[in-house]
Amino acid sequence: MRKFPEDFIWGTATSSYQIEGAADIDGKGPSIWDSFCTIPGRIAQGETGNIACDHYHKFKEDIQLMKDMGVKAYRFSIAWARVMPTGKGEVNEKGIQFYSDLIDELLKAGIEPWVTLYHWDLPLALQLEEDGWLNKNMTDYFADYANLCFDRFGDRVKNWITLNEPWVVSILGYGQGVFAPGRSSNSEPYLAAHNLLIAHAKAVAVYRENYGHQEGQIGISNNCDWREPLTNSEEDKQAAERALEFFLAWFADPVYKGDYPEVMKERLKERLPEFTEEEKKMIKGSSDFFGLNHYTTMYAANSNGEQQEISVNGNGGISEDQDVSLSLDKSWNVTLMDWAVVPWGCKKLLKWISNRYDQPNIYITENGCAYPDKLVDGKVNDQERVDFYQGYLKACQEAIDEGVQLKGYFAWSFMDNFEWASGYEKRFGLHYVDFETLERVPKKSAHWFKEAIEKNSAE
């Protein structure tokens, strides 16, 4: 039986706004998502994260479920506005206490905390008063917030992620306007991304300069889908590579190479901000590991300048800047998100990352699928999700066998949650949540995941 390395990290993941609820109690300030969800038509069925899974009150129960599953690590995010209600200045000690208690409970259960500092829920005050991520001052506010977290939690937290999917913040939040703060532009995404990268680097600098005694590691998690050339033509091969560079290398090249990909500089010209030499030095090498969120694969072809429809499932980066046409194979199964299930794409992406960035240690910090789960006689028989995980974990094994330094895997997500603009319709969880009673029920995939961890194998 083929097994993962003995020290392989097995975990599940969530984010603060999607599960915590308690949106306006114990001193928490509003976030951009608290505000965005009040705009009619933005969220499916007008739903919000005001209560979500009520993890704020049920975290001990949730951690027991993780322990029962045999999970060894838990990736969660801190709500910036819960610990700093306006994003700067005053600290909310009740918010600090919640996360401190959460961390202690995890450690008591033998579960290693992996903490994400920013998973899209910017304090609303920083959006209204500072123009959010379009303002370079945000980089200093973020560094101050990070410093608070390192100071209060770093004695127990040894794994930090600065930003979750800055591509989503930039493209869906500032480009397509479908996520908070809901702006639409063909230039703002590049400015927002630029400031996010500088904010990441400043936070890492704070950690390395002031908290080395904590002996932890820190990195960033980027999302990327694999882009397979539609044909063997040189044009389509170049289009697929270009799509990956606009998607993942946009954020990873500065961290590993010190600057943006040349193809982006050539195509975007003055719309792509420039790093100063000092910023390049600060950003380069600013990640101790490569965090990857991966979900799907699409075919890429050269579009010959034809305008492509902008879609949430589309290109990484503004579509018209790439000249890439995307498509699916009709034979591929798709999830409730209309994302194709293509395990070999995961393997190819892992190898692409390994080759481009000189074999970094990689952690898959999110991978999972949404299906229309139904509770029948108190159980959810989600065989499609089991098949998904089996396929993708086998692809991970193959990548490791071929030299990829894959060190861990976090399933998205621990339980059904508020899935952003999709509300509660799209269920990714290993545990079913009844959002009327807030009861949690292990799905078949939760039992299978436990067995996979115990056997340390996907087979």
Q: What is the pLDDT of residue 11?
A: 98
Domains in the chain, number: 1
Any domain includes 409? yes
Q: How confident is the model at residue 32 (pLDDT cuts 50, 70, 90)?
A: very high
Distance CA 117, CA 274 (A): 25
| Nearest-10 crossing angle of helices 250-257, 188-210 | 40
Does the annotation place 164 within a ligand binding site?
Answer: yes
Q: What is the pLDDT of residue 457?
A: 81
- Mean pLDDT, rounded, for 120-130: 98
Domain range for 42 is: 9-455
Any domain includes 221? yes
**Would you call 61 a catalytic residue per the annotation?**
no
Any domain includes 4? no
Any domain includes 421? yes
Structure tokens at 374: 């139904």
Mean pLDDT of the chain: 96
Structure tokens at 425: 């319709």
Does the annotation place 33 within a ligand binding site?
Answer: no
- Of 20, 47, 279, 366, catalytic: 366
pLDDT higher than threshold 80 for residue 458: no
- Of 20, 130, 165, 398, catalytic: 165
* Cα dihedral 280/285/287/293 (nearest 10): 70
Any domain includes 130? yes
Are 148 and 83 a contacting pair, CB within 8 Å?
yes
Q: What is the pLDDT of residue 304?
A: 78
Look at 361 and 311; give whichever has higher pLDDT: 361
**Would you call 165 a catalytic residue per the annotation?**
yes
- First and final C-alpha spacing in the chain: 7
Does the annotation place 367 within a ligand binding site?
Answer: no
Beta partners for residue 367, in sequence order: 411
Any domain includes 1? no
pLDDT higher than threshold 80 for residue 1: no
Q: How confident is the model at residue 307 (pLDDT cuts 50, 70, 90)?
A: low
Q: Residue holding tokens 């065989």?
A: 383
pLDDT higher than threshold 60 for residue 324: yes
**Residue type present at position 440:** R
pLDDT per position as a tens digit, 247-297: 999 999 999 999 999 999 999 999 999 999 999 999 999 999 999 999 999
Q: How confident is the model at residue 206 (pLDDT cuts 50, 70, 90)?
A: very high
User: Phi and psi at residue 265, in whole multiples of 5°?
Assistant: -60, -45
**Residue type present at position 368:** G
pLDDT per position as a tens digit, 330-382: 999 999 999 999 999 999 999 999 999 999 999 999 999 999 998 999 999 99
Structure tokens at 282: 């600060």
Return the percentage of the chain with pLDDT > 70, whole number.
97
**Residue type present at position 256:** Y
Distance CA 406, CA 361 (A): 6
Neighbours of 13 (CB within 10 A): 27
**Residue type present at position 269:** K
Q: How confident is the model at residue 319 (pLDDT cuts 50, 70, 90)?
A: confident
Does the annotation place 119 within a ligand binding site?
Answer: yes
- Mean pLDDT, rounded, for 148-163: 98
Q: What is the pLDDT of residue 328?
A: 96
Does the annotation place 420 within a ligand binding site?
Answer: yes
What's the CATH code of the domain at 403?
Answer: 3.20.20.80
